[in-house]
Amino acid sequence: MRLIAHAKINWTLEITGTDGRGYHLLDMLTQSIDLGDTLTLTASDELTLSVSGNDAVPADERNLAFRAAAALRRYTGIRAGAAIRLHKSVPSGAGLGGGSADAAAVLAGLNQLWQTGLSQHDLESIGLQLGADVPFCLRGGLCRVQGIGERLTPYPAAPVWPLVLVKPCEGLSTAEIYHHYAADSAVTPAHDRVLKAALANDPRLLPRHPGNALERVSESFLPEIQQCREALLAAGAVCAQMSGSGSAVFGVFPDADSAARAAAILSGSWPWVTCCRTSASPYEFVSEEEPAL
């Protein structure tokens, strides 16, 4: 079977404290986007992973997709294997949750391929052990994500809006950004304003900068993030925001034509620019035919 594992954006990101284990407690509005990696899962005696599209992405137990398959086997006790082929389209170190999306798609796909019969709750419990974004990447759409990623409040009426994504050359390490984070009282994420705009399906109601508590830390490593945000607004975005811990920045546009025009302009200044849309689903099953890679 083949799946497209949808990446995500963070409309808002607030850090509300830490738990007894030192994990950061989060309050975020997160939404799936239709940019995604392609995973092909085939029944096999062994558990293997191959990766294309990004030579820097490992094809062993360091990869979340492989770890997800291994975690599912441990959880169920199943002894089946699978040949996992992963083609990367989502850039690494971007704050777009590509690795988490891959893990979620592997859990959902192998749950079907291996006929384990696990519930959504079971899969999200496994996913939480892999990373804070994995439960959301199993749920998808637009969600308020709280705690360490385990508390999900879905908003089914989420709109589909055109986006332009821009990423500077370098990626950023999520662990390093969180390590350097210090509470910034000046950042007050506009959760309610984003939800009002989403539920009214009116991007004009979006704040120009919804609020990401990690943005200043990430900009201290990569000042181009702020430049990306300003460039998107200058190109006609009604809203621009860094996603996750960066380094990708997204802009929301009134329509697909204005997004395409902005992307054409911005591609002359930045190495990675793409158009996509928000999505209501975390992944999609596609035909059995081989992808054109």
Burial class for 19, CB neighbours closer than 10 Å (0-12, 13-18, 19+): exposed
Specify whether the CB–CB gap between 131 and 64 falls below 8 A. Answer: yes
The single residue of 27, 88, 133, 167 carrying the catalytic annotation is 133
**CA pair distance 230, 42, nearest whole angstrom:** 44
Say whether 8 is catalytic: yes
Q: Is 255 a catalytic residue?
A: no
CA triple 60-63-64, angle to 5 deg: 140
Residues 119-134 as b or e (16 or more Cβ within 10 Å = b): eeebbbebbbebbbbb
Q: Quote the CA–CA distance of 141 and 47 in Å, as a whole number.
A: 30
Catalytic residues: 8, 133
